[in-house]
Structure 1
Amino acid sequence: MKKLKKVLLVLLSLVLLVVISVLIFVQSLKPDYSGTKSMAGLSDEVNVYFDDFGVPHIYAQDEADAIKALGYVHAQDRLWQMELLRRVAKGKLSEVFGVDLVETDKFFLSLGIDDNSVEAVANANNESRAVMLSQAYLDGVNQFIEEGPTPIEFYLTGLEKEPFELKDIYDAMGYMAFSFAMAHKTDPFLTDIKNELGEQYIADMAVYSDTSTVWIKNYRNAKKDSLELDITASVFNALEKLPIPQFEGSNSWVIAPDKTKSGKVILANDPHISYAQPSVWYEAHVSTPTYEKYGYHLAGVPFPMLGHDRKLAYGMTMFENDDIDFYQEQVNPADSTQYLTEEGWQSFEYVSKEIKVKDAEPVSFTIKKTRHGSLVNNIAKQISGETPIAMSWIYTKLENKVMDAVYDMSHATNLDEFKASLPKIHAPGLNIMYGDAEGNVAWWATAKLYQMPDSVSTKLVMDGTSGKDEPIRYLDFEENPSAINPPWNYVYSANNQPDSIAGMLYPGYYLPENRAMRIVNLLEGKSDWDKESSAEMILDATSMVNPALVTELIKLLDVSHLTEEQLVQVDALRNWDGSYTLDAISPTLYHRCEYYMVKNTFLDELGEEKFQQFLGTHVFKRQIAHGARMKDGIWWDDIRTKDKVETRDEIVLKSFAEAWESLVTDFGTDTSQWQWGNVHTLEHPHPIGQVESLRKYFNVGPFPVNGTREVINNMNFTYDGSGFYKVNVGPSTRRIIDFSDVENSISILPTGQSGNPFSKHYKDQAEMFVNGEFRKMMMNQEEIIEESASKLIFTPN
């Protein structure tokens, strides 16, 4: 008995020892939010105050010192995110995640982002302030890599930490530029439809501009005096495996003094990005005697993409312009190393690449390039088409000055200086929103736009051989859409179609008018806006379009064939105001009906694979209202029924019946269980969370959430046939800057400031976010010092 007790005691001691060791190990992995650290190259002491949500407020006498400290604290919270983001353009995800990411790596290597970054660094002026500060930031990042604890993800993947370099910043920016593009999802898909089904099927789709929808108006004024190609599947497959988020859409509006209660400008912005953990933005407040900015940073990028100070504020949305074109090339039948141009045969360029693959042999492949760009036929094994298709992307064609633009934006002190920075953004296409303490409001569409021949549709694969489908000219920046201090006293963007300035429309992948219509409706109807009403508006979850569609289509139902409960819910739909609250039932029934209506309309022609691709395009979003209003159209007929031609009315009746039946199957006949919160949920996925046993430790959520696709609170999802709507895209932050009280401006992140699972700031904003709450963006130094949860001091080494 005594021996057994001794054995048990020894085992207990070992268990305690293991537990203590694990706890010590976990503690060692947490970020340091307090204490003193020496840092090489500092000219003076830097004080970093962390507020209750882990946002660093960095005070230094010299900006380079402050940026160096920013690099360190950014890395200790987001090094894993930085690592993944820099790997995308380099084709190095397979090195972390194995063979499943080989096609993704091939795709991004073919884009040429990393090659473009090499060229940009070679051409950079190392004496410029932007480069010097970037290097200071990298010095801070690399000191953490050398001295700080290794994030748990590196242990789990077996990845070694490596220093960061200037090219990594450009690679991160290049990924963002591509992530904003829509053509890679759309042009090959539409070309497949045209080739396989015919022109009429394209004509009945919402592909091109519609003058009856809400467009963004331009206005110019001086500053105020007081102030079978079969390449579609491969692109989708390559992108869906990305372990980091893609940029998708956004809302922003800036309200001029004449429409605010205080007589001061208010800026609101909520960029829409795929949800992931950690979330995209890292907040940081940097203050020196000569520079101050409260900014939102991409992982590994020293200058904020969104920011404000006491003088001005800026935000962004996606412009959605078309900056990627696909060209069909012709190979010389007598010499496969040549392709045809209007000037005769030219030689392909060949670039060899090697991809290191975890737990497998390296993969070598060759990128084949024409004057237009890389042939996308080489990017994935699913390619079966023999016709060579080249992808032309303006980002890699012109000199890369995007980093200079972001630096200049973050250091501008007035409207003129800010505007002067914008022509340097050639890609991605962005709507840049601006407001300042002098009362100016402005919107600029920033991108290097180009004019194509009138007969050419850039939404389809073009002819690369004749020279007739090439750009005619690049537009001057002054020809871009914009509005400065318009007489209607606000500017806005919801990724919708802009009006023309240059006497031409700008080809793009603009989203439907739903959000734009609601934003304009709300802004026009009120002239005493303040921070509180702006916060209420940014959370608005009401669609003005969906109830109108219901009103149109519900007339087609034969009420004599409906049950009593169906009549109750149809009547509720008829009176639905378009709001998406957690306890609402009408949204659930509406989206079931919408899905079955889309499925019954398009699946027969497209087949399962292309139907799923269609659901992931902007064309699908535009098609919903456009198609439902078409009483006659070629898509309505089910080509599988040879003896009849189906009509819209028949599709509507069939879809309602199938939607109702599916809801009864999922939730039973008690319609009180059909609430929106039971089907519409948000979970923030971490790459390591894909392992089911680790999901609860790394993923955040799921949470029931209000909102839906294409309302202001744009909680987007992709139909997958399950009847459950897992939100994958939405506000990456909600910001409201009120110049009447700029130090009490408000914001929120979807999860938390830190990407370290052991940090208390990993998910401390997640429930606030889904509940529509905000927190202060602190800027008052006395208040920050008094209320900060902790202080980290960097001293010169």
Structure 2
Amino acid sequence: MFLFILTLPITLHLLFWGLVSLKAPRYQGEIRSEKLTSKATVIRDEIGIPHIVGEDAKSAYFALGFTMAQDRIFQMELQRRIGKGELTEIFGEKLIPSDQFLKSLLLKQTAENYANQTKHIYPEAWEQLDWFLEGVNHFLETEPLPIEYTILGIKPRPFDRVDAISFLFYMGFSFAEGIKSDSLYSIMESELVGRSASELFPRYDFETNASILESQPGVKKLTSNLPIPNVNPKNDLKGSDIKSSLSQSNKDITNLKQLVTFVSSLNLPIEPLEGSNSWLVGPSRSASGGAVLANDPHIALSNPGAWYEAYIEYPGYENYGYFLSIIPFPLIAHNRDKAWGLTMLEQDDVNLYMETIEAGKYKSGSNWKELTYYKDEIKQKDGTKIPFEVAITNHGPIITEHIKGYKGRPVSLYWAHHHLDNPLLDVLYKMGKSKSFQELDSASSMIGAPGLNFSYADKDGNIAYYAVGRFPILKSGNPRKILEGSTGEHDVIGYVPSKDNPKIINPKNGIIVTANNLVTSGKIPGLGKPEGNWQPPDRFQRLVGILETQEKWSLEELAAIQNDSVSSFAPEYLEILFSSVKEPKTLGGKKVLEILKNWNFEHFPESQGAAVYDVFFYITMKELLIDEMGPEHFELYGEMAEYWNAYRRFIRNPNSNYWDDLRTVETLETRTDILNRSIELTARYLEKNVSASPSLWKWKYLYKIKHPHPLGVLPLIGGVFNIGPLPSAGGAEVVNNLKYKLMKEDWTAIAGPSKRRVIDYGRFEESVTQLPIGNSGNLGSPFYGNLVDDYINGVHRKILYSKSQVGDGKYRLEFQPK
């Protein structure tokens, strides 16, 4: 018995990895199918990137579907279940709230309406989607499925159009922050006494030199480092603090807390786009004399990663791209003629409305209108089905209906996606087929949501930026809070025409930078000042600052910038600190100040300054706001971009009422008091959580990155699927933007660059890229996690584009008619 117990773990280990090996994808040989009428060849290069060449479009897309399924079929399974709200069926009843929320977003309904249209803009796009899905389904029918299917007991079923489109629409789910931000603003506005809620949600009200249209490198700027006037926040109310017609009772506010907590607690296995950096360098500013595109979208870190990297070619078409693994057309791509990248625009295309509902009707102005309903069902693991129904007003679906215990006024979600034609599949198809910037611009102008910043470069030396997605126009302007839905006074009355969206084409300065920052500090025709959940300007300003330092930039230099981990706000922040604080009383406090004074502002694993600075930032934020917000709201606030925007304003404004600590009734604290206290608390935190020895206060002992797998939470075997945690350079709001949950004291990065890429049309075949972990999500593949070290170390690899670069390849799979 003792020997049995001793050898059992070894036996189970061998059985597990033996099963994984049996389920490994086959990358060599021949695939035959009656669906094919011509041939295709898939050659994988040495790190696992497939190069697909078909004799016609049908064979190429069939091969692409089969190839993606080999590496990502479990990810594809999750993608369709997220888009349609079907997670409970494989993960169990704990996912019922997530499915209810996902179904409330009407992703499946809008996907069905779009997919089942009798007439599409580009019918060939749908034909190619069908060919792609035939390849996916051929894999399901003929090949062993990865270990995740066995563990979860998933019974495979064919993929269809709605599966693909539902998830494509889900990736427009960029508004979770908007739901949380509008809700928390309304809560704080109601609860704060002697404080202005607008100070917590400043967006770009006090920022200069930080907008895409007005603040590019080489463009004449306003005077930098403008002094911040000492204005009492009580006399500093912005337009967004003007009361709307929404009357909120204490009961309303209590229930709004339930809403924001619920949305924050959703733990979806695939997260949407979060941020990104992108910049373009024209021929006059590049060392090669060609146009250059650099792009790194930021998405939640995961295993597998967000993008599937592949090259596809057939007569009349070729693209090297980055795909969502359930979609046959790349979202980001390049070929010998053109390249494009994207970042999130972050404009406000979402509103929450408090509704008045009685007897199946909702109040809209002076009228009462009938609710409409969307009905579906949630299937459980045991096969039983739970009926699902969501009510819909003229604003959108009621998203509070399925929040357990919610008893407040119903809250509806307005999302531009629900109210506009949004032919995303047709757009992606046309973008890949386009021959010029004008064609790409025309195709992307059809996007209703989400809002995206598109960056474009081509072989002719053109560079361009254009904002896509629609800007809603509200009757009453766009405040930053939940709106009263019954009066009609806050309804959307139209949209800015796509032709009036911001654009920059071949600027004289030769450089264009975007980083999810404010699109324009001016006005957009028909809209005025745009509102949005703009990310902090730190990355944008750092990129602008770097790219202004020299006239010409090489491919290698631009690639190095993608790994930049310097905090652009730290010099200003620390200058204020050093000029304000007194000499610390303790040895620990003295060491904190000493380390900060000697820091070079970089976030590298060996850096002491990075560890001390980020802990000090957190402690100061906590001491500044925990008394007004309380622990729960403080943590929720940390999930929004606004906390960083607000802190930039707070640290510059010593007269803000927030500096006074409400917990000390007899004392009126100042900025200096809070900063002094935070220095000492930082030392205690580091001594407790890192080391008693300041020499070990290093970033690598505090901060890690991790690529979590959906099964990584399972006991015993979960750790096999996760990659990490691992020490890495990077941090929050640096160019190498690997963000963590600061307000929850969780120093493990949860989101970051989902790929890095630099395309240089003066040295096209030397262009470079990075993936975070590898192209395959199959545990038995040699390309599972094979690129982790390169990503952590910031090592770009050459993109193998031409046939001569790829060669015959070690792994070659032929697709033939049966």
Residues 609-628 of structure 1: pairs in structure 2 closer than 5 A: 609-628=632-651
Match of 2:416 in 1: 394
Q: Report the aligned-residue RMSD.
A: 2.4
Asked if 1:589 is matched to 2:612, the reply is: yes
Amino acid at match of 2:287: K
Tell me, in whole angstroms, the C-alpha distance in 1 between the residues paired with 2:643 and 2:561: 26
Alignment counterpart, residue 486 of structure 1, candidates 495, 507, 512: 507
Give the partner amino acid of 2:53: Y
Matched residue, 1:760: 782
Q: Tell me: CA distance 1:12–1:200, structure 2 relative to 1, closer, same or farther (3 Å).
A: closer
Is the partner of 2:37 in helix, strand or coil? coil
| Alpha-carbon contact 1:47-1:794 (below 8 Å) kept | yes
1:432 aligned residue (431, 442, 454): 454
Matched, 1:89 2:75: no
1:710 Cα shift?
A: 0.7
1: distance between equivalents of 2:15 and 2:95? Answer: 35
1:406 paired residue number: 428
Going from structure 1 to structure 2, the CA distance change for 1:490 and 1:501 (only over 3 Å counts) comes to farther
- Aligned partners of 2:523 and 2:530 also within 8 Å: no
Compute the displacement of 1:705 (Å).
0.7
For 1:646, which of 644, 647, 669 is the aligned residue? 669
C-alpha separation between the residues in 2 aligned to 1:491 and 1:497?
14
Label 1:589 to 1:218 Cα distance change in 2 as closer, same or farther (>3 A): closer
Q: Secondary structure of 1:520's partner?
A: helix
User: How far 1:40 moved relative to its partner?
Assistant: 2.6
How far is 1:32 from its partner? 1.3
Q: Corresponding residue for 1:520?
A: 544
Contact 2:731 2:739 in 1 (8 A): yes
Amino acid at match of 1:572: I
Change in 2 beyond 3 A, CA 1:379/1:527: farther
User: Paired residue for 1:224?
Assistant: none
CA contact (8 A) 1:34 1:792 kept: yes
Q: Which of residues 68, 80, 83 in structure 1 aligns to 2:62?
A: 68
Matched with 1:270 is: 296
2:339 is the alignment partner of 1:316: no
Separation of aligned partners in 2, 1:125 and 1:789: 44
Please state how far the C-alpha of 1:607 moved relative to its aligned partner: 1.9
Q: Shift in Å at residue 212 of structure 1?
A: 3.2
Q: 1:595 to 1:753 in 2, by over 3 A?
A: same
Alignment coverage as a number of residue pairs: 774
**Alignment pair present for 1:632 and 2:626:** no
Check conservation: 2:339, 2:458, Cα contact below 8 A: yes
User: CA offsets per residue over residues 332-366 of structure 1, 9 Å max, x none?
Assistant: 4xxx3222111411122233332223359543343
Q: 1:773 corresponds to which residue?
A: 795
User: One-letter code of the match for 2:645?
Assistant: R
| Partner Cα distance (1:180, 1:149) in 2 | 38
Q: Tell me, in whole angstroms, the C-alpha distance in 1 between the residues paired with 2:775 and 2:585.
A: 54
| Secondary structure of residue in 1 paired with 2:712 | helix
Aligned to 2:314: 288
One-letter code of the match for 2:504?
A: A
User: Could you give the per-residue CA deviations for residues 708-747 of structure 1, whole angstroms, max 9, x where no partner exists?
Assistant: 101111011112544x510001000001111122222111
The range that moved more, 148-157 or 625-634, is: 625-634
* Paired residue type of 2:491: E
Select which of 474, 477, 502 maps to 1:456.
477
Q: Is the 8 A contact 2:592 2:682 kept in 1?
A: no
Following superposition, the deviation at residue 20 of structure 1 comes to 8.3
Q: Which amino acid in 2 is paired with 1:278?
A: P
**Aligned-residue offset at 1:43:** 2.7
1:148 paired to 2:149? no
Q: Does 1:157 align with 2:183?
A: no
Worse-matched range after superposition: 641-650 or 128-137:
641-650
Q: Match of 1:697, as an amino acid? A: V
CA distance in structure 1 between the aligned counterparts of 2:10 and 2:75, rounded to whole angstroms = 34
Aligned residue in 1 for 2:44: 50
Amino acid of the structure 2 residue aligned with 1:65: S
Task: Give yes or no for contact 1:480–1:501 (8 Å, CA) kept in 2.
Answer: no
Cα deviation, 1:433-460, whole Å, max 9, x if unaligned, reads 100000000111101112224x533321
Which one is further off, 89-98 or 664-673?
A: 664-673
SS at match of 1:387: coil
Aligned equivalents of 2:501, 2:260: Cα separation in 1: 30
Aligned pair in 2 of structure 1 residues 167, 269: CA closer, same or farther (>3 Å)?
same
Between stretches 641-650 and 476-485, larger displacement belongs to 641-650
Q: Aligned in 2, Cα 1:109/1:338: closer, same or farther, shift over 3 Å?
A: same
Show CA shifts across 1:401-441 (max 9, x none).
Answer: 11111111111111111111111111011001100000000
Which of 256, 264, 288 pairs up with 1:231? Answer: 256
CA deviations 1:654-713 (Å, max 9, x no partner) are 222111111112233321111111111011100111114223310111110111101111
**CA 1:346–1:11 in structure 2 vs 1: closer, same or farther (change >3 Å)?**
closer
CA distance in 1: counterparts of 2:271 and 2:482, whole angstroms: 27
Aligned equivalent of 1:538: 562
Question: Unaligned stretches of 5+ in structure 1?
Answer: 220-227
Tell me if structure 2 keeps the 8 A contact 1:213–1:513: no
1:32 aligns with 2:26: yes
CA 1:13–1:605 in 2, change beyond 3 Å: closer, same or farther?
Answer: closer
Matching residue of 1:375: 398
Q: Secondary structure at the residue paired with 2:361?
A: strand
Q: Counterparts of 1:266 and 1:482 in 2: how far apart (Å)?
A: 18
2:285 is aligned to 259
* Secondary structure at the counterpart of residue 559 of structure 1: coil
Task: State whether residues 181 and 324 of structure 1, in contact with CA within 8 Å, keep that contact through their aligned partners in structure 2.
Answer: no
Structure 1 letter corresponding to 2:517: N
2:360 is paired with a residue whose SS is strand
Q: Which amino acid aligns with 1:135?
A: D
Q: Hey, what's the Cα distance between the residues in 1 that align with 2:763 and 2:336?
A: 9
Amino acid at match of 2:736: N
2:131 aligned with 1:136: yes
Instruction: Name the structure 2 match of 1:554.
Output: 578
More off after superposition, 40-49 vs 159-168? 40-49
Q: In the aligned structure 2, how far is the partner of 1:55 from the partner of 1:695?
A: 27
Shift of 1:240: 3.6
Amino acid corresponding to residue 210 of structure 1 in structure 2: D
Contact 1:44–1:795 (CA<8 Å) still a contact in 2?
yes
The 1:382–1:719 alpha-carbon spacing in structure 2 relative to 1, beyond 3 Å, is: farther
Cα shift at 1:588: 1.0
Quote the Cα distance in structure 2 between the aligned partners of 1:685 and 1:575: 35
Q: Would the aligned equivalents of 1:312 and 1:437 in 2 still touch at CA under 8 Å? A: yes
Change (3 A) 1:198 1:65: farther
- In 2, the alpha carbon distance for the partners of 1:620 and 1:156 equals 41
Q: CA offset at residue 267 of structure 1?
A: 0.6
Contact 1:188-1:231 within 8 A present in 2 as well: yes
| Cα distance in 2 between the residues matched to 1:527 and 1:420 | 32
Match of 1:222 in 2: none
Separation of aligned partners in 2, 1:15 and 1:612: 40
- Matches of 1:24 and 1:98 in 2, distance apart? 27
Contact 1:58 1:286 (C-alpha < 8 Å) held by counterparts: yes
2:211 aligned with 1:216: yes
CA distance in 2, matches of 1:16, 1:587: 42
Structure 2 Cα separation of the partners of residues 741 and 448 of structure 1: 36
Aligned residue type for 1:428 = P
The AA in structure 2 aligned to 1:47 is: T
Match of 1:465 among 486, 504, 516: 486
Find the counterpart in structure 2 of residue 102 from structure 1.
96
Secondary structure of the corresponding residue to residue 725 of structure 1: strand
Q: Deviations over 1:33-65 (max 9, x none)?
A: 111110233232111100111111011121221
* Residues 232, 478 of structure 1: alpha-carbon distance in 2 compared, 3 angstrom cutoff: farther
Label 1:443 to 1:513 Cα distance change in 2 as closer, same or farther (>3 A): same
Sort the Cα spacing of 1:431 and 1:236 in 2 relative to 1 into closer, same or farther, 3 A. farther
Are residues 1:243 and 2:269 paired? yes
1:749 matched residue in structure 2: 771
- Residue of structure 2 equivalent to 1:80: 74
TM-score by length of 2: 0.91
CA distance in 2, matches of 1:589, 1:622: 21
Partner residue in 2 for 1:125: 119
Asked if the contact 1:431–1:493 (Cα under 8 Å) also holds between the matched residues in 2, the reply is: yes
Counterpart CA distance in 2 for 1:464 and 1:559 is 54
Equivalent residues of 1:296, 1:305 under 8 A apart: yes
The alignment partner of 2:173 has SS state of helix
| TM-aligned CA distance change 1:16 to 1:732, over 3 Å | closer
In 1, Cα distance between equivalents of 2:80 and 2:267: 16
